[in-house]
Amino acid sequence: MKFTLNLLKEVINLNPECTLQDIANTLTIAGIEVEEVIDYAALYKSFSIGFIKETQTHANSNKLQVCTVLVNPTGKKEEKLQIVCGASNAKAGIYVVFAAVGTYIKSLDITLSKASIRGVDSYGMLLSEKEIGLSNEHGKIMEFTDGKVGQTLADKLNLNDVIFNVAITPNRGDCLGVIGIARELQAYGLGTIKDNLYNSAINNIKELSIEIDIKDNLSNSFGLYLLENVDNINNNNLELLKIKQYLTKCGFKSISPVVDVINYCSLLFNQPMHAYDYNSLNNPNKVVVEDIGKLLNKNLIEVTDLKNKIYKFSADSTDNNHINVEITAPITLPNQTITQQVINKNIDNAIPVVNFYNNNNCVHGAFAGVMGLLNASSNNNSSVILLEIAHFNAISVALSKRKLDINSDSSYRFEREIDIDNLNNVAKYVINLLNIICGAKLVSYKAKTITKPQNILQVALSEINDLTENQFKIEEISQLLGKLGYTTQANTSVMQISPPGYRNDCLDSGVIIADIIRLYGFNNLKEGNIKVMPSEIGKTTYRLYDRIISTKQTLATLGLLETYSMSFISKVLHEEFALHNSNYYVVNPISEDLKYMRTSLISSLINIAKNNLLKFNNNFKLFEVSSVYVEDKEIYMASGLLVGNKFNKSWNTEETAFNAWHSKLIVNEILFNYGFNYSNLNVESNNLPKYYHPTKAGKYSLGTNNTIAYFGQLHPQVLNNLDIKTNIIAFEIFIENIPFNENKFNKSPIVISEHTPIVRDFSIVFNDSVKIQEIIKVVKAVDKKLISSVDIVDIYKGDKIAALSKSISFRVTIVSLEKTLVDAEIQEISNNIINSLQQKLQGVIRS
Amino acid sequence: MKGLDIKEATEAINASTSINILENIKVKYFGKKGIFVDLLKNISNLSLEEKKLMGNTINQQKDLLDNLIKEKFLQLKNIEINQQIALEGIDLSLNSHTDHKGGIHPITATISQIVAIFGQLGYKVAHAKEIESDWYNFTALNIPLHHPSRQNHDTFYLNCTDDKNKPKLLRTHTSNTQIHAMEELANKKEFSPLKVIAPGKTYRSDSDATHSPMFHQFEVLHVNYATEISIPKLKALLTYFLTTFFNNNNIKLRFRPSYFPFTSPSFEVDIQYKKTANGLIMGEGDDWLEVLGCGIVNNNVIKNCGLDFTKYKGFALGAGIERLAMLKYNFKDLRAFFENDYRWLTYYNFGANYYPTVFGGL
């Protein structure tokens, strides 16, 4: 919300010593966030109006002009200066904005000095709007057809005011009016609200002959004021000019005198109003506030609002509680062409409207509290207006504006509640102003009000003192709250606290305690004690959290960088990298690239890989540990990509591309870190996700349908589809599927052999289809006690052995816990290994 | 002594120029057919008396030569090593190839710091779902459908509905953890104080240098018997948190009244700072930075979770994790956290074994 210092002074007499900083600080501690304070007078104080007396073309440039300018920046003495200017519109006879030598120009970050421009002396500068800091217009210098040499720019532009831009929290609707801001400043002793604000009176006016009918509690107060003799054509009335300046500074557009006055009063008192063109209402004898849905039987209702949006309402034949609406909105594109956006909605039928009836003939006047309708609202030719000053139900307005896709100043105020007790005062104020500005005369009026029950909260003194750890006395609280307009009563230790009518947010004791604290001063509250109870000591985290953290650390230790990606991805990536069958997506995404809830982390990582490759980052290892989304379940995964080379060619290494074994190693390391023995897991290659290379990838699982990891090369076709030409290896670990080993470090005692290990090497030829893992298993099974390790030393395929076979060389380490083995014992184990491999895997000793 | 000329032997040993020559000398005297074997053979014919005398003499000579040879051997070996050292020198101005270096992302590091601080005070980590129902994200938190503050939340909705047939959404704040934690507490047979810290992902439909459609928040909730909960305690907790987090004992806090539907009273907390070329200095200067929101849990929220608000109260606080990281570590653009440029990650990561502790300093 924006307001200006002068606007504030329309309603409050500020103390003479009150500074801008005082106002800003006070509002801040009152809970009103001050986002910006712009003091235009200070901002533009070094710029003044000059007059170009004559110009000459620069001798050394046909783009530059040498201007003789009349200036008087100090206001003491007018003088003539020579200024070189490059703007095309610099010509004799115009008033311009002048900055003297020595002036600091913020937009250019320079301090002007006397300059020689291509050999001609220049004493100062003529400024464009951009250089002044008013807009981005830079092609021309700012020019005026009239003016006064030496006048300050702020004066010339009527900018001698200070604009406050403040953020009002949704609970404090009362502060959306300048009067609300003034009340806060008064509470903190910065000034006194003017006591003659609403001094005009409405006397001896006859009753309006329109019956008021409010359905479903849609309004608690509704008044109509018939004004004749309205001149709604812009005029030079000084009061109107002042109002227009205020409105412009506070971000409102000037529409017409009547609407400007209404908006001005709304800005002052937070009371939206609407002016109907009485002659368009077809001599109404009744006004009804009602839901549009209840009017739709078979007929269709079409209305147009003040922004030229067209709404077509029709009944929903299958559902009595719903209606259909087609909204056609004109949209102006950047190139000025106008197009239409059509939205169809099925909504519940609560759209309150203000309808005017002449017996059975109905004119739709407005979406109640949201926006007036075009055919019924005042325009420049309206000479008789019907002014609506009403309260509308906040919830109805909030729901209605959302269904209609309308964001209006009026609905913004109504949905945050208005001061229902102040309607009559505002009426007096606005009617008086309309009379002054537009000559409007009040002929008749009618107002219907449901008296609002007084809001009284019972608050125990002990509750206040317990929560603040303070010893407030009842009188002290009464006095503090009194500053904010509360009335209090207390016979016992329970206080009856009644907030002022405009404080619609006072629904619980917390609000009152907040008000007491802020007036007492938060800093005056003591600092409490932080206690840790014995029962709270112990582990902070839970086991999955620990696993997530330790997984990240292990992966980082293995040389992978941690990444964070959006949880939603494009449809293409979602489909290409579907780890689970789940199609949850955001129905209102920020872009199509951020739509589908990812079912694999590879879908995000591949995007990162691609983006980095485009930036010439060619070799890297990345991971993410995060959840993927399967239906509405969140499943934690640890996934990573190895992109490009493990080693580049260097003086002591050959270029080595990442391969599938590297990813398997990472998976093994993670499983080891979990305290899980992976040595017995089989690498399976069936049912891999389709983005893996069918013959260069595998998975680990624990029983059927319980995959714990995928690893290996990505499918070349998939990479090709994404236009990625680099080798990429992936892994994915289902970290929740791996058993939690709570006693990872709680082991049985270790027995270490004191005897010499014996090493024996073998070379055996197998059929190519035999898996290495099988061979190792068979060898180990020969003597589980004595064989301590089996290491693959070499794998040979080629013309020295039969086709479709491979020669595997491996080294077996044999050691006993009890004794040093003798040759015969070793020989026996060796023979058993050879026999076992021959029987079980048809292995033959390589000759 | 016949066959043994000590002088000659000593000279030969001293004159040896290589280990090879020395080995030959050793064989000549100590080998299986060496001079000492001969000498010892020859004394077998002597009398016992002579044998003893002679034997002693031979052994003395033998020890003498043996020591000489060993000494010479060491000398020659050292010469050989020195020659080799001179030849095998390498250029250590070269670097070996390096393997890839990994590291923890700043978001993880920041979350770990925050968890460490609150963990120290007995708070336990809790997690709630990101795909959430209207009830947990809004209604139970005292934000009914018509509430104006819903407009500030820019909610992402999903193509699925909850058990009340309302569209599911991506949570707009971590405050949904409050509801889950308190509902769980209400379902317990007996009340016990609740202290949770809940970091996690949150979503809002907004994107610029200071907004990302996905970001992280953390929520802290303490529910206890009404007399155990107070604003001064909340104040003390925040002073402790911000002082520890920014590792700065000068931190100055400012509590401003504010509004959140789920707390009453509500406060926003600012910290004092000074802007310098090298980032922000906290606890100095004239400017204030908003860092978090907090308050006393609204009675309606306690009630919505099935707890008796006349007996139990709570306080809660929440803040943006990226925002705190940006303030602490001088990051410029929120979006860079999620762009994952390799160079950015390499530059800003916290190393492989970052696990912060309060006692170690943050």
pLDDT band at B272, cuts 50/70/90?
very high
Q: How far apart are CA A828 and CA A359, in angstroms?
A: 115
A632: which chain B residues are within 8 Å (Cβ-Cβ)? 129, 131, 158, 160, 168
Residue A201 has pLDDT above 80, yes or no: no
Buried b / exposed e across A183-194, counting CB within 10 Å, b at 16+?
bbbbbbebbeee
B residues 288-347 near A, CB within 8 Å?
A: 295-296, 298-300, 313, 337-343, 345-346
Q: Mention every residue, 6+ apart, whose C-beta is less than 8 A from residue B316.
A: B175, B178, B219, B220, B221, B222, B262, B263, B294, B295, B297
Q: How far apart are CA A214 and CA A287, in angstroms?
A: 8
Question: With an 8 Å Cβ cutoff, are A553 and B205 in contact?
Answer: no
Question: With an 8 Å Cβ cutoff, are A620 and B299 in contact?
Answer: no
CB nearest A528 (choices: B96, B149, B233): B233
B145: which chain A residues are within 8 Å (Cβ-Cβ)? 399
A525: which chain B residues are within 8 Å (Cβ-Cβ)? 231-232, 235
Residue A689: predicted pLDDT: 96
Using DSSP's 3-state secondary structure scheme, residue B189 falls into coil
Q: What radius of gyration, in Å, describes the C-alpha atoms of chain A?
A: 41
Q: How far apart are CA B318 and CA A736, in angstroms?
A: 28
- Which of A562, A570, A619, A673 best probes binding to B when mutated, by most B CB atoms within 10 angstroms? A562
Q: How far apart are CA A701 and CA B132, in angstroms?
A: 31
Number of C-alpha atoms within 13 angstroms, CB side, residue A228?
Answer: 5
More confident residue, B43 or A725: A725
A395: which chain B residues are within 8 Å (Cβ-Cβ)? 146
Cα of B40 to nearest chain A Cα, Å: 39
A621: which chain B residues are within 8 Å (Cβ-Cβ)? 100, 102
Going by their DSSP bridges, the two strands A633-643 and A620-630 should be labelled as antiparallel
Q: How far is CA A677 from CA A669, A683, A707, B200, in A?
A: 10, 14, 16, 31
What tokens does B222 get?
A: 């303490």
Alpha-helix residue ranges (DSSP H) falling in A740-798? 772-782
Question: With an 8 Å Cβ cutoff, are B97 and A647 in contact?
Answer: yes
Residue B160 has pLDDT above 90, yes or no: yes
- Nearest CA to A350 out of A295, A388, A414, A301 is that of A295
Question: With an 8 Å Cβ cutoff, are B108 and A469 in contact?
Answer: no
pTM for the full predicted model:
0.88
What is the residue type of A225? Answer: Y
Helix axes A238-249, A423-438, angle to 10 degrees: 120
E-strand spans in A368-514? 371-372, 385-391, 441-449, 457-460, 487-490, 494-498
pLDDT, tens digit, 9 for 90 and up, residues A679-702: 889 999 989 999 999 999 999 999
pLDDT, tens digit, 9 for 90 and up, residues A327-384: 998 887 777 777 788 888 888 878 999 999 998 899 999 999 999 999 999 999 999 9
B253: which chain A residues are within 8 Å (Cβ-Cβ)? none
Q: How far is CA A115 from CA A89, A139, A384, B139, in A?
A: 21, 22, 63, 67
Cα of A512 to nearest chain B Cα, Å: 8
Token pair 């003529």 in the structure block, residue = A126
What is the CA angle A150-A154-A156, rounded to 5?
60
Q: Residue B111: closest CA among chain A residues belongs to which residue?
A: A549
CB nearest A540 (choices: B119, B233, B263): B119
Instruction: Say if residues A267 and A246 touch (Cβ distance below 8 Å).
Output: yes
B214: which chain A residues are within 8 Å (Cβ-Cβ)? 566-568
ipTM, two decimals: 0.90
CB nearest A608 (choices: B149, B237, B340): B340
Token pair 């309708």 in the structure block, residue = A373
β-partners of residue A274 are A388
B317: which chain A residues are within 8 Å (Cβ-Cβ)? none
Per the rule left: phi > 0, alpha: psi between -120 and 50, beta: everything else, B285 is left
Count CB atoms within 10 A of the CB of residue A549. 19
Q: How far apart are CA B293 and CA B258, in angstroms?
A: 8
pLDDT, tens digit, 9 for 90 and up, residues A568-608: 999 999 999 999 999 999 999 999 999 999 999 999 999 99
Q: Give the distance from CA A410 to its chain's centroid.
A: 24
- What backbone phi and psi angles, to 5 degrees, belong to A571? -60, -40
Residue A73: predicted pLDDT: 87
Q: Identify the DSSP state of B4.
A: -
Count CB atoms within 10 A of the CB of residue A343. 11
E-strand spans in chain B? 124-125, 131-132, 157-161, 167-170, 194-203, 214-225, 253-260, 263-276, 279-282, 287-297, 312-320
More confident residue, A539 or A133: A539
Helix axes A543-557, A660-673, angle to 10 degrees: 140
Q: Give the distance from CA A336 to its chain's centroid.
A: 29
Question: With an 8 Å Cβ cutoff, are A556 and B352 in contact?
Answer: yes
Q: How far apart are CA A692 and CA A695, in angstroms?
A: 9
Question: With an 8 Å Cβ cutoff, are B207 and A590 in contact?
Answer: yes
Residue B2 has pLDDT above 70, yes or no: no
Alpha-helix residue ranges (DSSP H) falling in A702-804? 716-721, 772-782
β-partners of residue A637 are A626
What's the mean pLDDT in A2-28?
Answer: 96
- Nearest CA to A447 out of A204, A271, A226, A217 is that of A226
Residue A744: predicted pLDDT: 76
Alpha-helix residue ranges (DSSP H) falling in B92-207? 106-120, 134-137, 176-186
Question: With an 8 Å Cβ cutoff, are B160 and A584 in contact?
Answer: yes
Question: With an 8 Å Cβ cutoff, are B240 and A395 in contact?
Answer: no
What is the CA angle A806-A812-A813, rounded to 5?
165
Determine if the peptide bond prior to A453 is cis (ω within 30°).
Answer: no
Q: Mention every residue, 6+ apart, whose C-beta is less than 8 A from residue B75.
A: none
Q: What is the mean pLDDT of chain A?
A: 92
Question: With an 8 Å Cβ cutoff, are B100 and A586 in contact?
Answer: no
What percent of chain B is modeled with pLDDT above 90?
Answer: 73
B residues 16-75 near A, CB within 8 Å?
A: none
Q: Mention every residue, 6+ apart, whose C-beta is less than 8 A from residue A510.
A: B263, B264, B265, B295, B296, B298, B299
Q: Residue A624: closest CA among chain B residues belongs to which residue?
A: B105
Question: With an 8 Å Cβ cutoff, are B264 and A508 in contact?
Answer: yes
Indicate the Cα dihedral angle B88, B91, B92, B98, nearest 10°.
Answer: -110
B235: which chain A residues are within 8 Å (Cβ-Cβ)? 522, 525, 527-528
Question: With an 8 Å Cβ cutoff, are B125 and A566 in contact?
Answer: no
What is the residue type of B127? Answer: H
Question: With an 8 Å Cβ cutoff, are B130 and A634 in contact?
Answer: yes
Q: Mention every residue, 6+ apart, whose C-beta is less than 8 A from residue B183.
A: B305, B306
B210 touches chain A (CB under 8 A): no
Per the rule left: phi > 0, alpha: psi between -120 and 50, beta: everything else, A208 is beta
Q: Give the distance from CA A762 to its chain's centroid.
A: 67
Cα of A631 to nearest chain B Cα, Å: 9
Residue B1 has pLDDT above 70, yes or no: no
Quickly list DSSP for A472-507: --HHHHHHHHHHTT-EEEESSSEEEEE--TT-TT--
Question: With an 8 Å Cβ cutoff, are A528 and B205 in contact?
Answer: no
pLDDT, tens digit, 9 for 90 and up, residues A619-641: 999 999 999 999 879 999 999 99
Using DSSP's 3-state secondary structure scheme, residue B18 falls into coil
Question: With an 8 Å Cβ cutoff, are A527 and B195 in contact?
Answer: no
Instruction: Say if residues A23 and A62 touch (Cβ distance below 8 Å).
Output: no
Q: What is the mean pLDDT of chain B?
A: 92
Q: How far apart are CA A592 and CA A594, in angstroms?
A: 5
Using a 10 angstrom Cβ sphere, with 0-12 exposed, 13-18 middle and 19 or more buried, the burial of residue B101 is: middle
Residue A654 has pLDDT above 80, yes or no: yes
Q: How far apart are CA B340 and CA A512, in angstroms?
A: 47
Going by their DSSP bridges, the two strands B194-203 and B124-125 should be labelled as parallel
What tokens does A393 get?
A: 């139900």
What percent of chain A is modeled with pLDDT above 70?
Answer: 100
What's the mean pLDDT in B53-70?
Answer: 90
What's the mean pLDDT in A735-739?
Answer: 95
- Which of A1, A399, A552 best probes binding to B when mutated, by most B CB atoms within 10 angstroms? A552
What tokens does A522 get?
A: 């938060």
Q: How far apart are CA A589 and CA A796, in angstroms?
A: 55
Indicate the Cα dihedral angle A361, A366, A372, A375, nearest 10°.
Answer: -20
What is the CA angle A369-A373-A374, rounded to 5?
150
B226: which chain A residues are within 8 Å (Cβ-Cβ)? 466
Residue A557: predicted pLDDT: 97
CB nearest A522 (choices: B145, B255, B351): B255
Token pair 């999620």 in the structure block, residue = B338
- What backbone phi and psi angles, to 5 degrees, belong to A421? -75, -10
What is the CA angle B83-B87-B91, rounded to 5?
140
